[in-house]
Every structure is written in C-alpha cells, then in structure tokens.
C-alpha cells in the first residue's frame, strides 16, 4: 500500500512539473531560450578571456545583451517565418532575463571561487534598499533591451 502511494505521489509530482514546464515555457520558446542562454554564455566567456589581455569597458555587456537577443529574434523569424506573438515576446523577455541572471550568477560564483574578495564586508556595508534598487534598475534595463530586440528589431528582420 505504501509503495502504491509513493508511486502515485511521484507520478503526481512528475505530472505537475511537466504541466508547469509546458505552461510557463512552451516547447517552441524553450528552444529559443536555451539557445539564448548558450549564446550569451559563450559571448560572456569570450569577452572575459579577451578582458584578460585588453581592458574592455563594462558597457560591452549591454551590447552583448542586445546582440544576442537580436540574433535570437532573427533566428526565430527565419525559422518560424513570422513575428513572435505578444505572449511569446513576454516569454522570450522574461526567459532571457532568467537566463542572463543565471549566467551572471555562475560568473560571479566563478570569480568568488578564484579571487580573494571579501564580499561579506561589502554586502553588509550597503543597505538592503540599495541592493533592491540596483536589482530593479538592472532588470529594468534588461527588460527594455530584450523588449526592443524581440518587438521592434524583430520587425526589421521580417521585412528582409
């Protein structure tokens, strides 16, 4: 009896995860978001290697976001032969924000592992509201860049 209950529980959890995964990200958008994350990771990795030899300004990261998201919009339009719908744009924008956040956290963890930073001192010196304000500004800039790429710049690729 206990084994049957556990199997039902496992199946229910699997079904819930599958439904949520398909509801939040359809199969179509999942491909483009994984592609975005891979492209963004590779661009950050290459930029970091170049940054070892040449000092690159931090504004290059904003250009990378725009270039990668515009490339994904171009790939979407060339493959699907249409503009993304409003729902697909929102999924692309928020999924791209999640992808960049994931890559940036990986990058930060890598730096913290190999560099001698005293980050706990810095974190405790800055008030929480300033950290929240910084996150709000960063996510706002990312949202603007991604929306411009997936909505406005995508129209340019459709006309070609």
At 5 the pLDDT is 44
- Rounded to whole angstroms, the Cα distance separating 97 from 108 reads 16
At 20 the pLDDT is 46
> Over the chain (160 residues), what is each successive 10-residue block's mean pLDDT?
47 49 62 91 89 85 90 89 87 91 84 70 79 91 91 77
Cα distances (angstroms) measured from residue 117 to each of 107, 111, 120: 14, 9, 9
Question: Half-sphere exposure of residue 142, counting CA atoms within 13 Å on the CB side?
Answer: 20
At 160 the pLDDT is 57
At 116 the pLDDT is 66
At 113 the pLDDT is 77
At 139 the pLDDT is 92
129-157 burial, b if ≥16 CB within 10 A, otherwise e?
eeeeeeeeeeeeebeebbbbbbbebbeeb
Helix axes 86-114, 27-53, angle to 10 degrees: 40
């Amino acid at each position: 009896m206990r084994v049957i209950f556990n199997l039902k529980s496992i199946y229910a959890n699997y079904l819930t995860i599958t439904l949520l995964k398909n509801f939040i990200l359809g199969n179509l958008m999942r491909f483009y978001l994984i592609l975005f994350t891979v492209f963004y990771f590779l661009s950050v990795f290459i930029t970091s290697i170049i940054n070892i030899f040449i000092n690159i300004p931090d504004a290059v990261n904003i250009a990378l976001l725009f270039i990668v998201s515009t490339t994904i919009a171009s790939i979407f339009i060339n493959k699907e032969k249409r503009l993304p719908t409003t729902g697909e744009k929102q999924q692309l924008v928020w999924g791209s924000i999640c992808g960049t956040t994931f890559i940036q956290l990986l990058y930060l963890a890598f730096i913290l592992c190999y560099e001698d930073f005293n980050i706990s001192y810095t974190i405790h010196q800055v008030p929480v509201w300033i950290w929240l304000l910084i996150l709000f500004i960063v996510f706002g800039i990312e949202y603007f860049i991604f929306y411009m790429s997936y909505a406005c710049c995508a129209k340019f690729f459709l006309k070609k």
